[in-house]
């Protein structure tokens, strides 16, 4: 690895980040160097041996393959890109002093995808970690220490772009970091810095990364979206055709929830009702005439009328065309048994809001498939 300055600090080594944010920055820089903010410092935040292997591999080679496979507008896509946007590969525990140094001035954007427990708080993260000798365990506590170091160095504005699949993820992460800072009884000026000078951005990521390439790299579908809520003063890692800056992030969340996520859950319901084989995939479901008919009827007759009532019919129809391609991806082994995990909770989160919104908007549709799924076991 090199000592190249890295204005983008990334927490997480996941194959999703490798094939989404990191790939976007790589593609933007190759198209036009001015379209990318610069190189990325990737940081491992856990004790995972897989993450350690990724860090070691990037240190050794400084690039990794991303294979894009699937359907796009009915055409088969199968290509490999050697991603070279990561210039530093660090471990928070081993390289904490380096992180404290870089955060003072060099870093302009922080991105993250810290998995299911990334926003957890830990009792052992007390104010003693402010001595800078050891990294805190929790991600929010790490940010509290790093941002305090930046504040002490002059407090330049910084953009934080979490990619975790949490609604209003920027707001949630801001509030977590503030709660840590208050718990440590940090001074009021620093709390104001966190609130007013740090730019916490809500965003939605949408891309299926189907498998890892060991020790580092990923296989990914052609479709990609990073919807980012507009905020004054925010800095983006790059300019890219798959990045959408919007004043209406809820619109993109609704598209994904009501069409893609709902579609997955409806296919899982068909699989459960039929006592399907555990190996059955989404692609198998799309090829099952009966299940496909149920799914298409749900989308066309029960969901799209809701988008029409919202004045978003054209956008929803175009997004649904992409969803059909994604569900019919011949290279993606996405098992319905996995999608059916926590099925009852997913139905309440993915199906019920469509029924409720149709009622609220006065949309006169029967929604028989959605209501039957909600009523079923």
Residue pair 141/183 in contact (Cβ under 8 Å)? The answer is no
Residue pair 59/89 in contact (Cβ under 8 Å)? The answer is yes
Residue pair 67/80 in contact (Cβ under 8 Å)? The answer is yes
215 with 281, same domain?
no
71, 77, 82, 85: CA torsion to nearest 10:
-40
279 with 178, same domain?
no
Compute how many other C-beta atoms are within 10 angstroms of the C-beta atom of residue 356: 10
- Whether 69 is in a domain gets the answer yes
C-alpha distances (whole Å) from 176 to each of 26, 140, 215, 233 are: 31, 6, 33, 22
What is the domain-level CATH number for residue 24? 3.40.50.720
Please tell me the predicted confidence (pLDDT) of residue 377. Answer: 66
131 with 274, same domain?
no
Compute how many other C-beta atoms are within 10 angstroms of the C-beta atom of residue 41: 25
Q: What does each of the 377 residues of the chain score in pLDDT, given as a tens digit?
A: 457 899 999 999 999 999 999 999 999 999 999 999 999 999 998 888 988 999 999 999 989 999 999 988 878 999 999 999 999 999 999 999 999 999 999 999 999 999 767 899 999 999 999 998 899 999 999 999 999 999 999 989 999 999 998 989 999 999 999 999 999 999 999 999 999 999 999 999 999 988 899 999 999 999 999 999 999 999 999 999 999 999 999 999 999 999 999 999 999 999 999 999 999 999 999 999 999 999 999 999 999 999 999 999 999 999 999 999 999 999 988 899 999 999 999 999 999 999 999 999 999 999 999 999 999 86
Burial of 265 by CB count in 10 Å (0-12 exposed, 13-18 middle, 19+ buried)?
buried
d(CA 319, CA 263): 12
Closest listed residue to residue 203, CA positions, set 24, 32, 329: 24
DSSP structural state of residue 36: B
82 with 179, same domain?
yes
Closest listed residue to residue 342, CA positions, set 250, 272, 253, 258: 272
353 with 240, same domain?
no
Query: Which of 229, 247, 265 finishes a domain?
Result: 247
- Whether 3 is in a domain gets the answer no
308 with 256, same domain?
yes
Paired strand residues for 9: 41, 110
121 with 194, same domain?
yes
78 with 214, same domain?
yes
C-alpha distances (whole Å) from 294 to each of 285, 286, 349 are: 11, 10, 20
Looking at the structure of the chain, the number of domains it has is 2
d(CA 248, CA 229): 7
- Whether 145 is in a domain gets the answer yes
Quote helix, strand, coil % in the chain, to nearest 5. Answer: 50, 20, 35
d(CA 355, CA 367): 7
Residue pair 13/54 in contact (Cβ under 8 Å)? The answer is yes
- Whether 1 is in a domain gets the answer no
Residue pair 182/195 in contact (Cβ under 8 Å)? The answer is no
- Whether 281 is in a domain gets the answer yes
The parent domain of residue 363 ranges over: 250-375
Strands 203-206 and 225-229: antiparallel
297 with 214, same domain?
no
What is the domain-level CATH number for residue 307? 1.10.1040.10
70 with 113, same domain?
yes
Joined tokens for residue 280: 């059955």
Query: Which of 187, 213, 247 finishes a domain?
Result: 247
Query: Which of 179, 212, 247 finishes a domain?
Result: 247
- Whether 318 is in a domain gets the answer yes
Q: Indicate left, alpha or beta for 154 from its phi (over 0: left) and psi (-120 to 50: alpha).
A: left
- Whether 2 is in a domain gets the answer no
Residue located via tokens 């390439």: 213
Read off the pTM. Answer: 0.91
19 with 151, same domain?
yes
168 with 241, same domain?
yes
d(CA 290, CA 330): 20
């Amino acid at each position: 690895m090199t000592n190249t300055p890295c204005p983008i600090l990334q927490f997480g080594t996941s194959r999703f980040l490798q094939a989404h944010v990191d790939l976007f920055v790589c593609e933007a820089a190759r198209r036009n160097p001015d379209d990318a903010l610069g190189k990325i410092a990737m940081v491992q935040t856990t004790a995972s041996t897989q993450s350690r292997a990724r860090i070691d591999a990037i240190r050794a080679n400084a690039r990794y393959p991303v294979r894009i496979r699937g359907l796009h507008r009915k055409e088969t896509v199968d290509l490999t890109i050697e991603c070279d946007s990561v210039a530093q590969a660090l471990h928070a525990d081993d390289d904490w002093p380096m992180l404290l140094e870089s955060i003072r001035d060099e870093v302009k954007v922080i991105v993250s995808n810290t998995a299911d427990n990334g926003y957890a708080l830990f009792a052992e993260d007390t104010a003693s970690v402010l001595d800078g000798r050891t990294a805190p365990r929790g991600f929010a506590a790490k940010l509290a220490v790093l941002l305090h170091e930046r504040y002490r160095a002059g407090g330049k504005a910084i953009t934080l772009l979490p990619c975790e699949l949490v609604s209003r993820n920027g707001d949630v992460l801001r509030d977590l970091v503030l709660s840590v800072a208050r718990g440590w009884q940090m001074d009021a000026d620093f709390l104001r810095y966190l609130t007013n000078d740090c730019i916490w951005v809500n965003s939605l990521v949408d891309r299926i990364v189907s498998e890892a390439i060991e020790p580092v790299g990923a296989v990914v579908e052609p479709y990609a979206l990073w919807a980012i809520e507009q905020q004054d003063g925010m800095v983006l890692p790059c300019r890219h055709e798959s990045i959408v800056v919007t004043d209406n992030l809820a619109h993109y969340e609704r598209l994904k929830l009501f069409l893609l996520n709902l579609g997955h859950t409806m296919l899982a319901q068909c699989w459960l009702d039929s006592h399907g084989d555990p190996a059955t995939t989404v692609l198998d479901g799309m090829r099952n005439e009966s299940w496909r008919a149920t799914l298409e009827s749900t989308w066309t007759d029960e969901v799209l009328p809701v988008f029409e009532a919202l004045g978003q019919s054209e956008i929803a129809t175009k997004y649904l065309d992409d969803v059909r391609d994604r569900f019919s991806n011949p290279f993606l082994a996405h098992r319905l048994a996995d999608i059916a995990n926590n099925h009852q909770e997913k139905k309440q989160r993915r199906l019920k809001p469509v029924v409720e919104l149709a009622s609220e908007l006065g949309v006169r549709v029967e929604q028989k498939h959605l209501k039957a799924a909600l009523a079923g076991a």
